[in-house]
Amino acid sequence: MGKKPSLSSEKRAQIVTLSNLNFSVREIARKVKVSKTAVHNAITKYQNEGIFTDRKRSGRPKVTSRREDRFMHKVVTRSPMSSSKKIQANLIDTGTLVSTKTIQRRLSLEFGLKSCKPARKPRLTEAMKKKRLDFAKRHADWNTEMWKRVLFSDESSVSQFSVRKYRVWRPAGARHEEKYTVPTVKHPPSQMVWGAMSSMGTAGLYFLPPGTTMNGERYVNLLKSKLDIHMKVHNCQIFMHDGAPCHRSKVVKKFLEQKKIQMLEWPGNSPDLNPIENLWCVMKNKVSKKHPTSLSALQLAIKEVWVKEISSDYCCKLIESMPRRLQEVIKNKGGHTKY
């Protein structure tokens, strides 16, 4: 076991104060939430040395100066994707030889930085940020009840295997044993799906024919068969879809105008604002766990998950997050959000 961290000066002062008020060691330990030994040591230390803090201990001196530590921090502040090897090379140029482990430790302990995989987000131009910000401000006063009137829709491709990254604990020399591998196939079955949702749960589900993509004509036919019924069942008065080319085609615009469908004008490159994107992620992970082995099995798994395994409570929570999503966009001046 490693050595436990020493008490802070504040806790030691609290212990001494309680001792002066004639509290017993047991009572002090219970109040401060430390061991009786720690209480005894703190009182003894104060009686002998008259201080609440540890004396400075000797140890191995740091191989880097404060100036060099600040240099490391400056490098990653300007270029967050700089590797520890790159920082090491920069330090060598200044005459300092230090290991990559030390660099990582300095950035972590001294500056609270952590090496992480970067989030993958759509590229946003200044014009896109402005549209996102305008959208967020325009709907900032919408409460959750107003968002519950919206039917959100989207298309997504669902594959046999999920795209999440794996890590595995294995002994040396066992890299290729079956239980330590992730199965892949050359051409895994995938299915392009259109779906919709509201605060009441999942709505329509439509499978595009294999080898085809959504175009204006197919989309109009889909809306003719799905839109009216699901808008009524989910008690929605507003329809949302993104700015995909098939959604912006003339035939689709004409159909929606003729049907007098109230549309939610949507900013481009904004999947973080669309709650159905979170729904796709959950669905894909659940489908992957069913291990479908063919296209028909994949379609069946998608239907089962969509109808039976995605709760209306989860959908409602996603819709209720809309005001928070908009506030994040406003806070970030149209930039990316955590959603």
Orientation angle between helical segments 312-320 and 322-331, nearest 10 degrees: 30
CATH of the domain at 160: 3.30.420.10
> What domain range is 147 assigned to?
126-166+187-331
Asked, for residue 85, whether it belongs to a domain, the answer is: yes
Q: What is the Cα–Cα distance from 301 to 176, expressed in whole angstroms?
A: 29
Asked, for residue 254, whether it belongs to a domain, the answer is: yes
131 in the same domain as 267: yes
Place of tokens 């998608």: 302
Its pTM stands at 0.68
What tens-digit pLDDT sequence spans the chain (339 residues)?
Answer: 445 667 888 888 888 888 888 899 999 999 888 999 889 888 988 888 777 776 666 667 777 888 888 888 888 888 888 888 888 888 888 778 888 898 888 888 888 888 777 777 888 899 999 999 999 999 999 999 999 999 999 999 998 765 555 566 677 777 777 776 766 666 677 899 999 999 999 998 999 998 888 999 999 999 999 999 999 999 999 999 999 999 999 999 999 999 999 999 999 899 999 999 999 999 999 998 888 888 999 999 999 999 999 999 999 999 999 999 999 999 999 999 988
Domain count, the chain: 3
299 in the same domain as 159: yes
Asked, for residue 157, whether it belongs to a domain, the answer is: yes
55-79 burial, b for 16+ CB within 10 Å, e for fewer? eeeeeeeeebeeebbebbbebbeee
93 in the same domain as 136: no
325 in the same domain as 298: yes
Q: For 160-185, write each residue's pLDDT tens digit.
A: 765 555 566 677 777 777 776 766 66
Asked, for residue 3, whether it belongs to a domain, the answer is: no
